[in-house]
Structure 1
């Protein structure tokens, strides 16, 4: 009984210390209340893989030409260009390719089937908004990265574009290594890029911007296939 109690207490202490360490890592980039749990876990994972905190920008809101805002989950600045990362937390089997407007999610052993907007296309819209922020960003290489967390299987998902990556959040190191194989990007002003990305992050602290974006997303989703993210 005593031994069991000691083991339980030991596990609790270890779990607390790990959580505390992870929160310290997260707070070097973002805050515990920003974004989704899947996004925060990915930020922590990238930090543990050696990505510098100043290279990661989490939960960005970019003003588009029409006055609305586009929200990007994560942007990572690398020597090869920017990674625009869309994080999805889905379950079940997923099917789709880069040209299909909607992908399919199958749950409950095929008894339930849902469609959701192509995340590659969704993220391409985010990248378009990112390019609108400055002339430098308009010409900088930006990689379209879609990562799935949760208990899902990419059963039949295909894409061919060289600057596009689709996979699981747990394989972020593989994606980072693949992108390192590309040639270095020509940044004309790295400070400008950092400033614009920091401004986009700070927009997420403005309740009016966040609520306006949420309302815009809700309006556009009326009549669209069911989606969880």
Structure 2
């Protein structure tokens, strides 16, 4: 199920892949399906995907920042949500290799989908969160699941994401180096 939370600051919806309520707080998981080599840090707006042994480069929106937007929408749901610890988890599935991915913010984890149990075990060691109303948490999460099943809300969210090109890797174009190589190649064939 997908979770769709009302994002009050942008008057739209924020779609979250998975939210888990644990004794330590909420775990927000963003799952990405990529192949190739991936490079990026928590502070870069875009990360890089390299395919075909370096012949193809694409950029995609930083999934840590994307999930931070989801967490912001969650915190806007109520005073309780604003106070709860919320963990930012980004998991990659598919045939990808995290080559140079760095992050240091507490409560942020980036890894492979098969690392989920290790991440949850780490979070379990952080101490318990102070839930003031567990029924409210369950109600908000149930409502989010209903929103995620609403075709009109989903279509609106998809259109918003497509207009921003966040989920569509964009080719990285290096004009000068390509021109320079052609120029050098032409020099070599002149007699």
TM-score of the pair, normalised by structure 1 = 0.71
- Residues 194-218 of structure 1, C-alpha deviation per residue, up to 9 Å, x if partnerless? 1101100111221111111111112
* Superposition map of 1:16-165 within 5 A: 58-65=1-8, 66-165=10-109
Higher strand proportion = 2
In the alignment, the residues of structure 2 paired with residue 205 and residue 96 of structure 1 have an alpha-carbon distance, to the nearest angstrom, of 32
Structure 2 equivalent of residue 53 of structure 1: none
Offset at 1:225? 5.3
**Runs of 4 or more above 3 Å deviation:** none
**Pairs aligned (count):** 169
Q: Aligned partners of 2:83 and 2:120: how far apart in 1?
A: 21
- The root-mean-square deviation of aligned C-alpha atoms, in Å, is 1.4
Structure scoring higher RCO (CA < 8 A, sep ≥ 6) equals 2
Matched, 1:181 2:131: no
In structure 2, the residue corresponding to 1:146 is in which secondary structure?
Answer: strand
Q: Which runs of 5+ in 2 are unaligned?
A: 172-191
Segments of 5+ residues of structure 1 without an aligned counterpart are 1-57
2:2·2:149 contact (CA, 8 Å) conserved in 1?
no
User: How many angstroms apart in 2 are the aligned matches of 1:221 and 1:166?
Assistant: 22
CA contact (8 A) 2:35 2:94 kept: yes
Measure how far apart 1:192 and its partner are.
0.3
2:42–2:65 contact (8 Å) kept in structure 1: yes
Residue 202 (structure 1) aligned to one of 135, 146, 160: 146
